[in-house]
Amino acid sequence: MSYKTIYCLSDNTKKAHQAYLTLKKKYKLTDTVEKADVILVLGGDGFMLHVLHKYMELGIPIYGMNRGTVGFLMNDYNNKNLTQRLNNAKPQILYPLKMDTRTVYGKKHKALAINEVSLLRETRQAASLEVSIDGKVRIPEMSCDGILVSTPAGSTAYNLSVHGPIIPLGSDILALTPISPFRPRRWRGALLAHNRVVRIKVLNPKKRPVSAVADFTEIRDVELVEISEDRTKKIQLLFDQDHSLEDRIISEQFIA
């Protein structure tokens, strides 16, 4: 693939902005994203997620270079041979999760998540949740801090920190992971086919209020949340051939 027209975005940190100025001097960058063959992102994973959400509908491939901290979704920064790196990059397709919610006030909201959809207790009292898969109740009542549904790309983020499984890319699997479960105490979560629909009902939502979070979007006081993969949206991330996202996810499973 040949990427000739580059649109570049940088985070508002000094390190990212300096990288942008350096690249602007060395390469011809377009000021119009709609004319771009590729979007170049300079920053960290948080900034990358913002860019993915903002430009998802355009369908333009996105290539990131790490000017943040962890940079799990980014390639290493180097201002040399950028055009060659872009043309040799390996695409990785990601699909977001769709979150549909209804609050205790009857309001409905929709949001997309690239990493995960989380339900979290709002107060000192544990959340009380009913969990259904494809319309069948699997857990009639779970007492916990919350629960989340993670994509493979997000499985090494919040999902991993609450002891959820790391999921290889391309496996067509989602992770359903409890957050500090009290009852059922020994339930550690489940792996689901990507086309399953997860429905979570909040039991006694006024006494035990729960918020639902899709990446950056938080809806408070929900009583019903439905989560499913949205294959009508396709995100194409580009990675250097010797440092692919798939390899990084595999490597995470061997870190002590």
Residue type, 201: K
Largest CA distance in the chain: 60
Closest among 245, 251, 211 to 52, alpha carbons compared? 245
For residue 226, give Cα distances in angstroms to 116, 166, 200.
13, 23, 6
**What does the H/E/C string look like for 221-243?**
CEEEEEEEECCCCCEEEEECCCC
Residues 6+ apart with CB under 8 A from 181: 142, 143, 144, 145, 187
- By annotation, the residues acting in catalysis are 45
Phi, psi of 119 (to 5 degrees): -110, 130
Q: Which value, to the nearest 10 degrees, does the dihedral of the CA atoms of residues 31, 35, 39, 40 take?
A: -40
Q: Residue 97 and residue 95: Cα distance in Å, rounded?
A: 7
